[in-house]
Amino acid sequence: MNKRIDVPAFRNSDFLSGGGEMAELIAASDWSKTPLGPIESWPQSLRTTVSLCLASNFPINIIWGPHYNQIYNDGYRVMCGA
């Protein structure tokens, strides 16, 4: 007999955990007003890429979609300056 294992529901912001200040800014932004759309509708590939970016100490800038939206981590933010 196969027994079903209940897995907690995926939370849309889980991929932002441990991502520093930029993760907090991303989570606080209203993405529905951008070409990327609501964060809940982002494809898994974008969520994974953002998660890897935010977890890295190396400066990383992601340019995504036809409008070239940029998402970057704390390391890259320092390079941008004021």
- Across the chain, mean pLDDT equals 84
Say how far apart CA 37 and CA 46 lie, in whole Å. Answer: 12
Grade residue 61 by pLDDT with cuts at 50, 70 and 90: very high
Say how far apart CA 75 and CA 20 lie, in whole Å. Answer: 10
Q: Are 69 and 34 in contact (CB under 8 A)?
A: yes
Say how far apart CA 32 and CA 80 lie, in whole Å. Answer: 25
Grade residue 9 by pLDDT with cuts at 50, 70 and 90: very low
Which spans in the chain are helix H? 20-28, 44-55, 74-80
Q: Give residue-wise pLDDT tens across range 20-59.
A: 899 999 999 999 999 999 999 999 999 999 999 999 989 9
